[in-house]
Each structure stands twice: as structure tokens, then as C-alpha cells.
Structure 1
């Protein structure tokens, strides 16, 4: 017991000593860093400049573009009109060699590829998302190619050549539920030795297959594409909100209520009469004395006609997309003459997009023929040769005014013939001039070949006339 008290006493003494002894203070110098609100948006001048959108902005762009295409009439037309002008009558992949043409036709009509059906989808999504990725599946026996599809939302990283920032060499996907990501090597339609040794080593790490990767509205020092609706997303949403506000205002303007005035009535009489009164039914009879006045009251919002405001907002969006007003129901003062001239900038923009789609299809066609050649041990084909030169043929975007060009052709023929007769122009130049107008009608003329064929035909006809009697019978 005594030992127990002694231990308690020693513990209390140690505790009092610890409390009475001041603890050593640890001093730290105050320090801080001022961070700007947009600090994350600045990059070092000596660092690599990235011109792509941030991953969150890229995702939001895709989501908003898709939502507006589904729910906003104006946004839907901005996407669907170019698709219709480019693909309404169909597209063909052609090559002069018959065997190679069969290979292209087999690819085009494959039950998985179904290019006639899926091409509008691919062009539409290219405009909506700004990029498309198509993994390929190749039959090793005969080289037959089938296209897959990789949703742009599943693309995590686009890898470029370290020696050439504008050349994409691989695609890395987001990780799946098992934590695995796929690595696709982008297709270049050529041998690997077009890259440096370092780049070839990097491309070897992309071992999950090959894939096409195409972008629009991008920059040379960027990796990802941008939607055709990116610049107009906020304006499209604001225009739709404006129209919904006008719809609510129209509903309010049609609303009314009955205002009943009781002359000389006391508060008690007003309260009593309010319990007895009810809105009259249509066609009913209402009888009262001069002490009671009924009046239908409608709201006066003093709002001016908003059609001009709607036209202003709409034209701002349409102008940004290079679409004339009369293409979206706004006729205004447009007649046929001004309508044709107003459509010219639009068709220039559509022609640029057509060249992009043409490049995409011809690249796919060359890949199809290259896989066939490699499967049969023919090596890399010469795509400049006519037998391997793939051409994507698009329909005319607008119907040509043949009467106008026919009249112009007649005038040019007469003028060229007169110039040749007066020795002011060579016959070959005259044929070339005629060919320029004939090209507007879809007839391509090689001036030298056409002139040579015409002279041979003329000589043959002259020889035939020598051996023919005046009455038309042979001698």
C-alpha cells in the first residue's frame, strides 16, 4: 500500500513540474503566394503550347451540341442542311481497275459497313463532335476491311509525332471497368519508314489495332477537333429562350378578367356581392342596374413587335454558320436573283466540307485496296497509278440552270469560230474555251484530244464523200 502511494505521489510531482515549465515555442515565418483567378489558363512561353480545349470543355461541347441538335430547331437545321446537300443523292468510290472496283464495292456494301446507310451518320457526327475515330478489322486471308466506331467521349489522349506536332500517330482510350485502356495506331496508308526511328518505336506501343482519326475545325498545333456549333451554342440557346418568352407573352396577352365596380356600396355590401357574383358563361344574359359596372380587363404589357428582334438574333446565328436567311423560312425581300447570289458563300463553305469528306472516303478506299494488296503479297500499291487511284464522286449540290449555260455555250462557239476564221485565235485555244463552258454542263473536254479527234473525223468523212455519187449511192 505504501509503495502504491509513493508512485502516485511521484506521478503528481512530475505532472506539476511539466505544467509549471513553459513549453518551447516553435516559430514559423509567415509566407503566402498570390494566385490569379485565371492562373490555370496561363502557360510558360518556353513550354509546349496546347491549342485544344480543356477535357471538361471538350466534353461539355459534345453534350451541348448533341442536346441542341435534338431539341433546337435552328441548331438541327445548321447540321442537317449541309448533310443533305452533300449526301442526298449518294456517294460512290470508284477506281479504273475492274478487280479493284469489285474490292471497293464489296467493302461499301458489306453488311457491317453499310456505307450508304452509315455515311450520313458519320458526316453528321463529324459536324457535331468535330472528330471521328474508326477502328479497322481486317481479314488476314483476303484483306477485306470492316470499320468500327469509337465514340469521341471514349478518347482520352491523342498522341502526336514528337517531331511533327500536326501528325497524329496514336489514340488512347479511357480506362474500362477493369482499368484497361486501348491503344490504337492511326492509319497513314504508307510504310512505317515515313516516320523517324523514335516515332516508329512509339507507334509500336499502340498494339491494340489500327484506326482512322479525322478532325475538323482544328489547328495544326492542336490534337482534337471542334463542333460546328461551338461558337453558336450560347446564341442558339438564347434564341430559343427568347422564343419561349414570346410564347408566354402571347399567352398573357390573351388572358383577361372581369372588373366589377359597385357604385356607392359599403365594404359589407361589396363583400356580400363578391360571394354572389360569378363569371358569366358565353352567350348568357347579365342584368344589373346603373350602380354596377362590368368591364373585361386585358393586360397591357406595352411590348413592341418582337419580330425584328427575333430576326436579328436568328440572322446572327445563321450568319455565323454562313447560311442565308431564306434557307430558314425568313424570305424578307429576297427574290430569285438575290437568292442565288446570297447562296454562293454557303456553297463555297459546303464545297470546302465536301473536300474534307472526299479526302476521308478516298483515304478509307486506299486503305481497303492496300490491305487487299498486302494480303496477296503484292506490296504497297502506287496510288498515283490509274488502277489504284481511288476517287469519291459526289452529286451536284444544286441543280444547274442548263438553259443559261446552253445559251452561253452557243455564244462562245460562235465567237470562237469567228476568232479562228479571222486568225485571231488558234483552233486548240478555241476548243479549250468551249470546254470551259461545256464543263458547267458536266462535259469535260480535253482540247488537244478533242481537236485531233475532230480532224480525224473530218478526214474520214472527206474520204467517204470521194467515193459517193451525188445521189448518195456508192460509185
Structure 2
């Protein structure tokens, strides 16, 4: 029997033998958390996203500025108007595929002619949009849902490709539950590595389209178009409210009454007797009393330059010219046209992004319809299934100068071809370049081949009718 330790310490002789050494075991365990890949390290990996608190604050401020700040509202609404004013449509050459696209586009829940403006606006405001999809398993018909950006907890990136989002995880609700959506990729899962495919399998709450702007490649979340301007927009509003208060003070005045040779008692007595005259009233006094009005001199002329400075700082950061926001400045018609070019480039880039997004949605609608009805993927290599999002022109084209240029180029090309200085193919390419400025896209090679074929056909018909070029010219 082993004696207690306190007895052996007091009476060492009683311990006949030393106790057997205890076996030491190292603690071991396994992580059974199903979403282990979604935890961030406290140190180590670089993260280009804003902190969750800053991201939420950015979205709140963007919505507040859009609602209450005139300039912020215009910065966002100008882009929406230029992108969508005349409407957008999805087209496809295949007749059956076009029916699928039309059904998706005009579905009473999707209602893209009405809701597309909301989507474009909120992408600019919040920097990201998430649309869960709901698919009819029998027909493959697709309907879009909406996940408010404030409910997005995290966007998960591909561990083998840090710029590719693969999943969206919502914030946990009161019960501690969250939804895990798989980001839609119009392609087979084999485009991902085995590790990424295993991660995507855990997103079992459905699929979603995830769109982001102003993001960095190493970050998952988008940023608002108003993020950089938010403080300046608020400061400009405060400045204008201050100017409003100053304008009120400028309209204020008071009567200054001077009593010549009066004693302090005379002044007090007269002050108790008089009152400010009403408009149109008659005031009578002798030469010992003088009345005049006094107004504050607050140097109001200085404020206009300050307002222009602050306004142009914000507008310049958003690539909006001054005369688009009520400021004429030193702008004339010629310079105004040149100043708008950078703005249209920015709008065109955003239009290109939405073109890609809508075409992806259209291809997804065709894929799900084809899988539900035929069990096979549509052949998107076939031109008949090529989905195109058709947007309105950003600006009305000035066709006058390009029409004149086309005539001049056509004359020059005719002279150069007859002089054998250039080939007919090069001449047609030159004409196609100018025609593109008029909104007509021409494939130079196809156009030349068709023209030569038409000429050959006409020559054969003339020969059949017994006409020769000389006779034809004489008849004309």
C-alpha cells in the first residue's frame, strides 16, 4: 500500500519503495468546426478588406448621404441615368433561348425593367450586391432574390486564388444561425482545385450572384463610390448651412438714432418713447435727431470662391465636370464637350461591368433551363446561344462631323485605289473605322467579299440581258 506523501516526508523510513512513476500524456484533439476555413488569423495573412465595423459604417453613411446630400445624390444618380435611361435588354439569336431570356427578364419577381435601376444604384452606394437564386427544378426557370449588404458577414475567397470569391456567409441571427451561399460560376466545378471544391460543397443554402466594385484583388468586399468623398460631401453641406446662417444675418438691420447735444437722461427718456417704424410709416423729428440703418458687413463675396473650391474638389474626385452641377465657371461649348470625355469613360467602364453581370445572369438562366429540360449544358460556343446585354448609348452621337469625314475618306480611298497606291481591303478597313464612329460596325473582310460577290452577280445579269458596260453607260 502506498503511504500518503505527508507521512513519507515526516517519516522517510516508512517508505520501503519509491512510488511507480506516473505516465505523462500530451493533450491532443481535433478541430470539428465545420467552417474552419472561414476563420481569419489574428496575425499573418494580409487582408485588404475594411474591418466589419468600418464596412457597416461605410454603407450607413453612403445611404444617408444619398438621401440627404444633394451632391452625393447627383453623383450616384447621374451614373444610373446614363447607364439605363433608355432601357436595357438581353438578346440571343436562338429563338427558344430568347424566350427563356425574356421570361427571366420580365418575370414578375425579377422585373428587371423596373428593378435594374435599384441594383445599379445600390451597387454604387454599397459597393457590393448579392442576389440568391431560386430555381424551378422542373422548368429551370430562375428567380433572383436579394440579400441586403448589411447582412453579409463575410465573402470567402478561393484559398488557391485570392481574387476569386467562392462563397458568401451571412451574419448570424439571434439564434446563432447563418446562411452559406455558393457564388455562381458559369462553368463546371472542375475549374477549381480539389481543396476549393471541397470548401464549396459546404455551402448548402443555395447559389448566389455576387457583384462588387472598388475592391482590391486581395480583398473580398466592395467599397462605395462615395467612400472617398463622404467627409468632403458632409463638410460641403456644413459650409452651405453656415452660409445660409450668414445670409440671414446679412438681411438683419437695426435703427441707429443719434440725439445731438442730448444728456444721458434725454437719451434714456427718448429711448423709452420711440419704437421702430412700420413699413410705410411717417417719422417726424427735428434737426437734433438723426436716424439711419446699420447692416452687418460680413464680406459675403469671399464665400463664392470657397464654395467653388470645395465643390470642385468633390466633383473632381468623382470625375464629374463643374458645369454638370450648376457651376458654369469658364466653360464654353467647346471646352464642355472635352471635359465630359473622362466622365463618359468612367460611365462606360461601369456599363461594361453591368454588361458582364447581366450576360452572366442570362447564361445562367439558359443553363438551368437546358439542364432541366434536356439534361445537358447549352453550347455557348455556338453563336446562336451567345447572350448579349444591349445598353443605350451614353451620349447622342455628333454624326455631322463623322458623316463629312466619311465622305472625304471615301473620296480619298477611291483615288488611292484607282492610283494603285493601296489595296481595296485596306480602303474598306479605313471606311469601316470611320463608320464605327457613326455606330455602324463593319467587318472589312466580309464587306469586301460581299461587295465583290454583288458586283459579280450584277455583271452576270448584265451579260445575260445583253448589256455591256459601254451600253449601260450610254443608256444612263
TM over 0.5: yes
- Give 1:444 shift: 1.8
Distance 2:177 2:129 in 1: 22
Q: Is the 8 A contact 1:132 1:152 kept in 2?
A: yes
Shift of 1:333: 2.2
CA distance in 2, matches of 1:199, 1:112: 33
Quickly say closer, same or farther: Cα 1:434–1:45, change in 2 above 3 A.
farther
Match of 2:340 among 335, 340, 343: 343
The reply on whether 1:311 has 2:276 as its aligned counterpart is: no
Q: 1:107-139: per-residue Cα shift (whole Å, max 9, x none)?
A: 000000010110011000000000000000000
**1:161 aligned onto 2:158:** yes
In the superposition, relative to structure 1, how do residues 137 and 246 fare at CA in structure 2: closer, same or farther (>3 Å)? Answer: same
| CA deviation map 1:154-188 (0-9, x unaligned) | 00111111111111111111122333211111111
Q: What residue in structure 1 maps to residue 256 of structure 2? A: 259
Q: Work out whether residues 190 and 380 of structure 1, in 8 Å CA contact, stay in contact via their aligned partners in 2.
A: no
Structure-1-length-normalised TM-score: 0.87
Distance in 2 of aligned mates of 1:220 and 1:60:
22
Superposition CA RMSD, Å: 1.9
Gaps of 5+ in 2: 1-39
Q: Which moved more, 1:133-142 or 1:442-451?
A: 442-451
Number of the residue aligned with 2:50: 53
1:417 corresponds to: 414
Q: Write out the 4+ residue segments of structure 1 that deviate beyond 4 Å after TM superposition.
A: 43-46, 468-472
Match for residue 95 of structure 2? 98
CA shift digits 1:43-64 (9 cap, x unpaired): 9998100111111111111111
Correspondence 1:241-390 to 2 at 5 A: 241-390=238-387
SS in 1 for 2:383: coil
Moved more, 397-406 or 268-277: 268-277
Match in the other structure for 2:11: none
TM-score, normalized by length of structure 2? 0.87
Q: Distance in 2 between matches of 1:471 and 1:359?
A: 53
CA distance in 2, matches of 1:414, 1:312: 50
- Cα–Cα, structure 1 residues 258 and 73, in superposed 2: closer, same or farther, change >3 Å? same
Q: Which of 433, 436, 442 in structure 2 is aligned with 1:439?
A: 436
Q: Does 1:85 align with 2:77?
A: no
Q: Relative to 1, partners in 2 of residues 1:303 and 1:335: Cα closer, same or farther, differing over 3 Å?
A: closer
Question: For the residues of structure 1 that align with 2:42 and 2:140, how far apart are their CA atoms?
Answer: 48
Deviations along 1:265-307, whole A, 9 cap, x unmatched?
3433333322221111111111122332222111122444321
2:179 paired residue among 150, 164, 182: 182
Q: 1:229 aligns with which of 206, 211, 226?
A: 226
Indicate how the Cα distance of structure 1 residues 208 and 46 shifts in structure 2: closer, same or farther if over 3 A, else same: closer
Question: Bigger CA drift: 43-52 or 199-208?
Answer: 43-52
Match of 1:13 in 2: none
Where do 1:449-464 residues align within 5 Å? 449-464=446-461
> For 1:230, what is the secondary structure of its paired residue?
coil
Structure 2: distance between partners of 1:225 and 1:390: 26
State which drifts further: 163-172 or 130-139: 163-172
Task: Describe the SS at the equivalent of 1:61.
Answer: helix
